[in-house]
A and B are shown apart, each in its own frame.
Chain A
Amino acid sequence: MRETPLSNCERQFLLKAIEEKKRLDGRQTYDYRNIKITFGTDYGCCIVDLGKTRVLAQVSCELVAPKENRPTEGILFFNLELSPMASPAFELGRQSELLVKLNRLLERCLRNSKCIDTESLCVVSGEKVWQIRVDVHVLNHEGNIMDAASIAAIAALCHFRRPDVGIQGEEVTVYSTDERDPIPLSIYHMPICVSFSFFLQGTYLLVDPCEREERVMDGLLVIAMNKHREICSIQSSGGIMLLREQVLRCSKIASVKVSEITDLINRALENDKKVRTEGGKFGFAESIPKQRITVLKSDGALLEVTNLEQKAEGIASGAEPISDLGRASSPVVRAPGTAQVGESLENAWGLEQLEEEEEEEEPVDQTMDEGQEKEEESLYHKKGEVVVISDSEEEDVVILHPETKVKDSDQQTSSSQQQGTGVTKKKKKPVN
C-alpha cells in the first residue's frame, strides 16, 4: 500500500491556516495533543497515546556476556519498529530513512544521555551482565512518533523490574518473582524528546506536529531534555537555517513541556504502583472503562464557540496572573494504571479574532465581570476532572529566567509572528 498523497489543496490550506495561527485540530501553537500513559499487566510494558498517535514500549532483559572493552557495564539495546499497522505507508522489514532516523534519535536520547546506570546491571564482571532491551512498536501514526516513542520508552524503563540474582561462588542464581521481589532499574533522569516543526523557512513554529503538518513542514528540530533542563540531544533536520534565538526559544519551550510530561509519567507510575500494591485491577484491559461497543470512540475536542466575548474577556483577564506552573500541569487519573493530560481540551481558536472584531463595534464593560466569574468557575470545575495543558506558554517561558523577563516580553512584541495569541490580546487591551 502506498500512503495517501497530500493534495495541493490541503497543502495550501495548512500553510494558510498556520499563517493565521490556526491548526487543524484547534490547538494553539505550543500545545501538545492529549497525552495518555497506560501500563500493561507485566512490568516494563507501556502504551502512550499522543492524540491519535499510539506507541507501545516493552522492556525485557537477559543475561549475556559483556562487551570486551566494558566488562563491568550492562548493555542497553533499543529497537523501534514501524509496522504497516501504524500506517499503510510503512512496510515491514524495510529500513526506511524515517526508521533509521527514529532509531538513532531514540538511542541518542536514552543511551547516550546515560540516564540509566549501566554499572548496576553487572552481575559477574567480565562474564555476565544484564542486557536490557527496549522494543518500541508504533501502533498508529498520526504524526510526531518521536515524542510518543521517547515517552513510552522512558516510562517503560521506569516501570520495568528485573529479576534478582544471587551469587554463591561461581554459581549465579536468577530468582523468580515469587522467590524474591524484582528490582527496578536505577534511573538518573528522564530525557524526553520534544519536536518543533518549522514552516515557511522557519517563520512559523509549531510544537507536536500532526501527520499532515509533518508533511508540509520545512524543517524539524528535536530537543531531548530532562526536567533539570539539561539538553540530552538536539537534532535539526530538513535543512533549514535556524537562528540562535529560535533554538534558545525552542529549548525554553521544551523545558516547560518536559517538566509537564515528567510530572505526568511520575503520576502514572505512582498510580500504577498504588493499584498494584492494593491488589486492584491494572493493565490495559482495566483502563478501558466500560465494555461497550462505543468504548473506543473518541470524543473529539468539541468546538467551544459560545459566549465569545465573555469567554475571551475571561481568558484575557485570567491570563495575567498565570504564574504557577503547577496548576496547568497536574495530570488527571481516569482509570487504574493510567494518567492523562489535556483530555477534552477546549478549542480556543477563533475566539480572539472574533472578539476583536466585536470589540471595535461596542465596548464591553459589564460583561467583563461576568466573564471573569465564569472563567473562574470553569477553572475550579476543571481542577476536579479535566486539566488543560497550559494554554499560554509565553508566561511559563518567562518564569524560567526571571532576570530576562523584561527583555523577553519586549522581544515577543517585536516578533509578533511567532506569538501566542493570548499575549497579543493582552497587550492590545489597554489601548482600546
Chain B
Amino acid sequence: MADCLKDKVGSVLLPGDIFSFESKEEKVICGPGLRRNGDEILVCKSGILRHKQPNMYWIDSQQKRYVPAKGESVIGIVTVKSGDVFKVDVGGSELASLSYLAFEGATKRNRPNVQVGDLVYAQFLIANKDMEPELVCMDSCGRANGMGVFGTGGLLFRVSLGLVRRLLAPQSELVKELDRAFPFEMVVGLNGRVWVKAQSTQHMLILASLLETCENMTAPQRQALFRKVAHSAP
C-alpha cells in the first residue's frame, strides 16, 4: 500500500487526490496536507509529496495563511490582557490564549511582565479546529527553552510559510549564507513571522529585504546577492 504513495513522492498532488489501501499491515504517518479517511488517504492541500524514512509522508505546499498545529513554535502579538490569560494574535483564524502561569518561574504572586502589543515566542499546547488554540511559553519540564517575551528593539516582518520552513530546516543553506553576510539575531515563527535584530537599523532593513527577495531565487543568484551584501556591509 505504501507503494502507491512512494511512487508519487516528488510529484505535484492536488486536493481531492485519493490513495487507497488493500492490506492493513503497514503503518503510514500522515503529515500536513494528508488526511486519513477510513481506508483511504486524502490529499487536502496542493503541493509536492515528500517522504521521510521509514514511513512519513507529507505535502510541501506554499501558502500564506497560517493554520495552528500542536507543538509548533510561533511569534504572537499580545492583543488583550484579560484576567488570567492573554489573548495572542498568531495569524490564525482565531486568537490564541496564553495563561500568565505558562511562563518559566511564574507564580500567582510573581506575574510575568507582559504588555499589550508585546511579542511572545511560544508554542502551541492545544491546536485543533474545534477548540481555541492555547499557547505556552515553556516546555514540558517547565523551562523557558528560548521562549518568552521579546526584549525591545528588532524588526518584525512577514514572509511566506514556505520560506519559514526553509529557514528552520536543519543545516539550512539560507541561514548559513546569511550568517556569513553579517552578525544578527533572528527568531523565526512557523506562522510566517520573522524577527531580526542587528547592530543598526539599516542592517535590519537589509535583512528584511534580503529575506523577502531571496525566496524565488536560485541558489547561485542568492549567493551572488549575499556576497555583494557581505562585501559592502562594514
Contacts and interface: CB of A to CB of B under 8 A. Distances in A.
A347 B234 CA distance: 18
A158 to B, nearest CB: 35
A302 B202 contact: no
Interface in B160-217: 195, 201-202, 204-206, 208-210, 212-213, 216
Contact of B156 (A9, A26, A347, A350): A9
A8 B149 CA distance: 12
Interface stretch (A15-23, A149-157, A318-326): A15-23
Nearest to B205: A22
Interface string A333-363: 0000000000000010110011001000000
A6 interface: yes
Contacts of A6: 117
Interface string B217-234: 000000001001101111
B209 A353 contact: no
Contacts of A400: none
A76 B119 CA distance: 48
B153 interface: yes
A217 B69 CA distance: 35
A313 to B, nearest CB: 14
Contacts of A10: 155-156
Nearest to A308: B232
A352 to B, nearest CB: 11
Given A8-B119, A301-B209, A354-B232, 13 more contacts: A7-B77, A7-B119, A8-B117, A9-B195, A10-B155, A12-B153, A17-B205, A302-B213, A302-B225, A303-B206, A303-B210, A306-B232, A349-B202
A306 B77 contact: no
B152 A353 contact: no
Contact of A7 (B156, B201, B202, B228): B156
Given A16-B201, A17-B205, A302-B213, A5 B89 contact: yes
Contacts of A9: 118-119, 150, 152-156, 195
Contacts of B210: 303
B93 interface: yes
A300 interface: yes
13 contacts: A4-B91, A7-B77, A10-B156, A11-B117, A12-B153, A17-B201, A22-B201, A300-B213, A303-B213, A307-B232, A349-B202, A350-B205, A354-B234
Contact of B205 (A26, A302, A306): A26
A22 B205 CA distance: 9
A308 B154 CA distance: 25
B188 to A, nearest CB: 15
Interface of A: 1, 4-13, 16-17, 20, 22, 24-26, 294, 297, 299-303, 305-308, 347, 349-350, 353-354, 357
B229 A4 contact: no
Nearest to B75: A7
For chain B, the bracket of interface size reads 20 to 34
Contact of B154 (A13, A22, A306): A13
Nearest to B204: A13
B79 A5 contact: yes
Contacts, number: 86
A61 B202 CA distance: 51
Contacts of A1: 93
Interface of B: 77, 79, 89, 91, 93, 115, 117-119, 150, 152-156, 195, 201-202, 204-206, 208-210, 212-213, 216, 225, 228-229, 231-234
A11 B115 CA distance: 14
A1 B91 CA distance: 10
Nearest to B155: A13
Contacts of A12: 152-153
A307 B232 CA distance: 7
A5 B77 contact: yes
Contact of A306 (B93, B201, B231): B231
Nearest to B213: A300
A8 to B, nearest CB: 4
A214 B201 CA distance: 20
Contacts of A349: 202, 205
A13 B201 contact: yes
Given A1-B93, A5-B117, A22 B155 contact: no
Contacts of B201: 13, 16-17, 20, 22
A25 B213 CA distance: 11
With most chain B CB atoms within 10 A of its CB, the pick from A25, A307, A350 is: A350
Nearest to A350: B202
A5 B233 CA distance: 33
A266 B152 CA distance: 48
A4 B89 CA distance: 7
Contacts of A7: 77, 117-119, 156
B234 A357 contact: yes
Contacts of B152: 9, 12
A305 B232 contact: yes
A297 B150 CA distance: 33
Nearest first, the 4 A-B pairs at minimum CB distance are A8-B117, A305-B232, A7-B77, A300-B213
B156 A353 contact: no
A306 B202 CA distance: 15
B153 A305 contact: no
A303 B229 contact: yes
B77 A4 contact: yes
Contact of B202 (A5, A22, A294): A22
A4 B202 CA distance: 25
B144 to A, nearest CB: 19
B209 A300 contact: yes
A305 B155 CA distance: 20
B127 to A, nearest CB: 18
A306 B228 contact: yes
